Amino acid sequence: MPTIPSNIVVYNLITKRLFSTSTSKNMNYVEKVRLLDYWKIQDSSLQNEFPRSHLVLMVDRRLLVTKDTPDVKMVEHSYGDLKQLLGEYGLQFDLSNSCLLDALPADNDMIPLFGTSIEAADPPEDSPISKSDVLKQLGNSLGGRFTDIRMAMLTMQEERQRNLLAKFQTLTKWAATYRRCPKCAAALKMRTSKSGAECVTCQKVYYPTFSPVSITLITDPTNEHALLVRHRGSAGGVFTAVAGFAHSGESMAECARREIAEEVGIEVDLIQSLDMSQPWPMPDSSLMIAHVAIAKMDQKISVCPDELETAQWFSRQQVRQALETTLSDPQLKKLPRTLDDRQTLHYIPPAGAIAHQMIRRWVDGKIDFHNSRI
């Protein structure tokens, strides 16, 4: 492997030997992340592991999750079981449509967790059953149901599940896009793990891209009011925090300040990190980084009409009411339907979104600039 410096190879050989003599019970966090790092770049090693792997599944960009459980999780299958169950529906998967998500403890070892994303063929025109019926049956056979990725992100309770799904969606979408070198248009050779791709001609390596995003809860100087916004096209009655992609050459605080000016037309006096972040895969892959800002309430709000429908100040009590409504109806089933009512605060994002966690901390009085250590 001429493109890999020899010290990596030596290091990996040492590391690999370590793993092969240790049991999973002895495998600590350091060994696990080094094994994942090894699998990421050593295609042949990861290919050998594939038949021992476990997998989670998307079909037609819908995620297989548990059903009839209070907490939504991805359904995991062993490679052999999934081969057989999908085979009964004439469906196949292989390494080309799979990406490496994690390393799981097995009997005496670690095995890879892959995410595999396949397309179901359309049934023949004269078929008596529709494609959605087929997917429903397939979900049942696989011990779960298929659901929308955004809804899964918003409602999964475990951070680990959400982060694995974010990785699954980001790597799947990236690997489907990065086929040719942006510089010279030659083919890209994709790693088995989908963690990188190298141009066969100019040897430039590309990595899965996702961008830092600031998400900022704006409060007034008394800390008793919050400015929340409604995005165009978002579900009726749902308000959230201001967010936007960082631009080249700005710090996260500058990003937050600029996004607030662009989107709601006001200047903030102070910005502070909340020490919370969350990978978020839609519509583009990002890493949401939470901030809080103070702005005076007497400034004229002027929303960017391309992004936002409205932006309004709310009292802590109004936001608490929306938090409680959201917690009692996490699937947002009672969304308002009339146009006027859509513009009224009824809900905040469900618990899987970092905006929910930020707003909840503020409602509970746990966000306060006076406690700042900076």
Window 4 to 33, contacts with its own copies (CB under 8 A):
5, 7-8, 10-11, 28-30, 33
Q: Where are the extended beta strands (E) located within 131-238?
A: 145-147, 188-190, 197-199, 205-206, 211-219, 225-231
Q: 15-38 b/e with 16+ CB inside 10 Å = b? A: eeeebeeeebeebeeebbebbbbb
Q: How many residues bind its own copies (CB under 8 A)?
A: 78
What is the spatial distance between Cα 34 and Cα 46, in angstroms, rounded to a whole number?
14
Nearest to 253 by CA among 232, 269, 235: 269
What is the spatial distance between Cα 23 and Cα 82, in angstroms, rounded to a whole number?
26
Q: How far is the CB of 365 from its own copies (least distance, A)?
A: 12
Please identify, using beta-carbon distances, which residue of 246 and 345 lies nearer to its own copies: 246
Please identify, using beta-carbon distances, which residue of 57 and 138 lies nearer to its own copies: 57
Which of 78, 147, 223, 273 binds its own copies (CB under 8 A)? It is 273
Which of 83, 204, 316, 320 binds its own copies (CB under 8 A)? It is 204
Please identify, using beta-carbon distances, which residue of 68 and 275 lies nearer to its own copies: 275
Please identify, using beta-carbon distances, which residue of 288 and 345 lies nearer to its own copies: 288
The interface mask with its own copies, positions 163-202, x = CB under 8 A, is xxxxxx-xx--x-xxxxxxxxxx--x------x-------
Please identify, using beta-carbon distances, which residue of 95 and 246 lies nearer to its own copies: 246
Q: First and final CA of the chain: distance in angstroms?
A: 48
Please identify, using beta-carbon distances, which residue of 134 and 181 lies nearer to its own copies: 181
**Cβ partners under 8 Å of residue 221, min gap 6:** 269, 294, 296
Q: Are strands 62-65 and 145-147 parallel, antiparallel or unpaired?
A: antiparallel
Total Cβ atoms within 10 A of residue 166 = 21
Element (DSSP H or E) covering residue 47: helix 43-49
Q: Scanning residues 30 to 89, which ones bind its own copies (CB under 8 A)?
A: 30, 33-34, 37
Q: How far is the CB of 99 from its own copies (least distance, A)?
A: 9
Stretch that binds its own copies, among 19-27, 70-78, 134-142, 156-164 (CB under 8 A): 156-164
**Cβ partners under 8 Å of residue 92, min gap 6:** 86, 118
Which of 144, 236, 237, 279 binds its own copies (CB under 8 A)? It is 279
Stretch that binds its own copies, among 54-62, 72-80, 244-252, 323-331 (CB under 8 A): 244-252
